[in-house]
Amino acid sequence: MDLDDTPDEAAFRLEARQWLEAEAEPLTEGEARAGFSEFEDAEEIARARQWQERKADAGWACITWPVEYGGRGGTPMQSNIWRQEEARVRTPPDVFTAGIGMAGPTLLAHGTDEQQRRWLPGMARGEQIWCQLFSEPAAGSDLAALRTSAVRDGDEWVVTGQKLWSSAASVADWGLLVVRTDPDVSKHAGLTYLMVDMRTPGIDARPIRQITGGANFNEVFLTDVRVPDVNRVGEVGRGWSVALTTLMNERSSLGEGGTGGALGVRGLLALAETTHDERGPLLEDDAVCEAIADCYVRSKGIVYTSLRTLTALSRGVPAGPEVSIAKLVAGRMRQQMMSLAMDLQDLFGAVVEPEPDSDHLAWDHGYLFAPAARIAGGSDEILRNIIAERVLGLPAEPRVDKGIAFRDIPMGPEHA
């Protein structure tokens, strides 16, 4: 039990820090590090690509990936140290979550050597923006109910259907696509996983405006889109297990993003210290203290849970479904934290600053963004089901969609 670096880890950290200090500006006092990109600013995306390329050139991209695929061949522990150090400097917002965070690990787990060679090095260099084409109008939490069909035609698949909630799809180079290749078998057995070039004719990505006002996610219409069979990851009919790998990595990326909660709590503390009511600073209000403490305890609980997972990984124990904890806790916590920060300012909590700085953090924007974290990558309810069934071993609910062909499964009037 030792939270401090081993000599090797300390040497790695020093090397990383020296490179980062030479290549990037440190964050200023109170400055929040960049989160996920909203994919609306082409210049921002270009800067993100450049930063990734510089990291790749210096051997700091995708720490755990094999060297021949553009990684460093490092350990999960080194990857964590890198993330900690990179968080100390100003970097462009993250545009590579669906690629490096999800497509990469999926290819490493299920791709052929040829597929890994084809995509991973470019991904590590930031050459590709990826998006996820999973959800559909009639398949959200019940993802395996998806209906986008793919019919084999020689060496190609012909894909037709509609995908939904696909972040970055309108700017992406590649998409992770799950399709139904056989409607006559049970629903999980009829799925296949494809990598699709987003510039293929027949793909039409239309941005959807979100409650934040931004429009970085999309509905994507696919009409007779031809995807070469060499882009298939895993066997025909085994797409579900490949998709689960993607989803697990998505949850762990989103949960990690949520651990910025500790930074959020620092912002809350500063806000409560500088905001006064008629009795003085709000930090002297017991109820305020207790509410901040509740946020802090959970955010640190997530951080230390991830360190336990990391230690297990370092000991060769694979991460299990318990990685769902971070996302489940972080989503709700951020929502409560943002609304608390708005509360602390009375009606000014409802005033949107046109250009929020560190003294006027965009709590209102954070509050509007927070519901997404509770829905994307598995809703709170789905994550609780996973914990209950796969960690606690509680029995599955009886289902009416089991043991029958997908085409015979009842569906709502809207989609029938």
Partner 1 sequence: MNFEFDEDHRELAHAARTLLEDRCSLRHVRAVFDGPASYDERLWSAGAEMGWMGVAVPEAYGGVGLGYLELALLAEEVGRALAPIPLSSSAYLATEALLLAGTPDQKERYLPRLARGELIATLAVQERRDRVGGADLATRFASGRLDGVKAPVPDGDVADLAVVVANGGSLLALVELDADGVRREPLTSFDPSRSLSRLHFDGARAEPLGADGEGHALLDHVLDRAAVLFAFEQIGGAQRCLDLAVAYAKERYAFGRPIGSYQALKHKLADVFVAVELARSNAYYGAWALSSGSDELPVAACLARISATDAFQTAAEEGLHVHGGIGFTWEHDAHLFLRRSRLLALVLGPGRRWKRTLVHRLAARA
| Contact status, residue 13 vs residue 81, Cβ threshold 8 Å | yes
Residue 347 binds partner 1, judged by CB under 8 A: no
- How would DSSP label each residue in 324-375? HHHHHHHHHHHHHHHHHHHHHTGGGGGPPPSS--GGG--HHHHHHHHHHHHH
Distances (CA, A) of 137 to 193, 206, 340, 379: 19, 14, 34, 16
Residue 381 binds partner 1, judged by CB under 8 A: yes
Q: How far is the CB of 142 from partner 1 (least distance, A)?
A: 14
Residue 5 binds partner 1, judged by CB under 8 A: yes
Residue 154 binds partner 1, judged by CB under 8 A: no
Active site residue 127: no
Among 227, 292, 337, 344, binds partner 1 (CB under 8 A): 292
Among 302, 330, 362, 376, binds partner 1 (CB under 8 A): 302
Q: How far is the CB of 325 from partner 1 (least distance, A)?
A: 5
Residue 328 binds partner 1, judged by CB under 8 A: yes
| Contact status, residue 39 vs residue 95, Cβ threshold 8 Å | yes
One of 38, 219, 250, 256 is an active-site residue; which one?
250
Among 279, 315, 350, 416, binds partner 1 (CB under 8 A): 315
Q: How far apart are the first and last CA of the chain?
A: 57
Q: How far is the CB of 8 from partner 1 (least distance, A)?
A: 11
Residue 235 binds partner 1, judged by CB under 8 A: no
For residue 165, what are its two tokens?
């909630």
Of residues 32 through 91, those in contact with partner 1 by CB under 8 A are 77
| Contact status, residue 273 vs residue 38, Cβ threshold 8 Å | no
Of the ranges 118-126, 134-142, 324-332, 351-359, which one interacts with partner 1 (CB under 8 A)? 324-332
Residues that bind partner 1 in the complex, under the rule CB under 8 A? 1-6, 9, 77, 265-266, 269-270, 273, 283, 286, 289-290, 292-294, 296-298, 300-305, 307-308, 310-312, 314-315, 322, 325, 328-329, 381, 383-385, 387-389, 391-398
Which are the catalytic amino acids?
A: 250
